[in-house]
Amino acid sequence: MAGKTVVITGAGRGIGLAAAKALSACGARLIAHSGRDGTSAFLDNIADEVFEGDLSDGATCDAFVDFVKSKAATVDVLINNAGTMLGRFPAEELTVEQYDKLVALNQTSVVRITSGLIPSLKTAGNASIINTVSISATTGGSAGSSIYSATKAFVATYTKALATELATDGIRVNAVSPGTIATDFHERYSSKEKLENTRNKIPLKRLGTPEDCAPAYVVFASDKLSGYVTGQVFEINGGQLIC
């Protein structure tokens, strides 16, 4: 990855931070986005450029695209990783505001940032887009996560559609689909009892870690490692889907 410019959203913690560290260790030049106040500090000595802001706001998405273009003439890899669940909302209690916020960050920001940076990816040649989805895009998730799951399913399908459309431009498009990963995401949205019940059902008998996921981003980022792979959704879940 030496000499390659990688743009990654949601890089301030969890899977995004692990992926950023792995790509930096491989020599990539990182332009990173951090979504929560203060998390950008975790990118010190990892990212070359850092942008902090809430990508559920369209104007912030556009500002991030402009920021990237001001820092790099071309983009070799775009990783759309920013996302959230906000909370677990029973379907009958979901508000319009909650729905709009989830869709804006998990879905619309991916489309907006990707569309804005496609010209930079085309210029680079042999470029790659990597989207972070979720096991819930396939399973539907658990109670209270219907809209989160649906937004991830949208991105998974968007990944496949883009792969077909952008293939002639030499741009590969794939998705990484984590299962239940031990991050502060689940500390916020899942009880200890729920996580333990999930762990017992996983064939490998443990929850995943961000470091379990990071190598997949390196593989999909590298033309040498995955130059003939596009339109795929790669599952990382300890066998959870084969239960």
Q: Which amino acid is at 3?
A: G
Compute the distance between CA of residue 30 and CA of residue 77 in angstroms, rounded to an integer.
10
Virtual CA dihedral for 163, 167, 171, 172, nearest 10 degrees?
50
Tell me how long the chain is.
243
Torsion over CA: 97, 9, 126, 220 (sign):
negative
Looking up tokens 């431009």 gives 169
**Taking a C-beta distance cutoff of 8 angstroms, is the pair 35, 10 a contact?**
yes
Q: Which helix (H) or strand (E) holds 235?
A: strand 233-236
Give one DSSP letter per residue of 219-231, joined into a string: HHH-HHHHTT--S
Active site amino acids: 148
Torsion over CA: 212, 77, 162, 70 (sign):
positive
Compute the distance between CA of residue 201 and CA of residue 47 in angstroms, rounded to an integer.
37
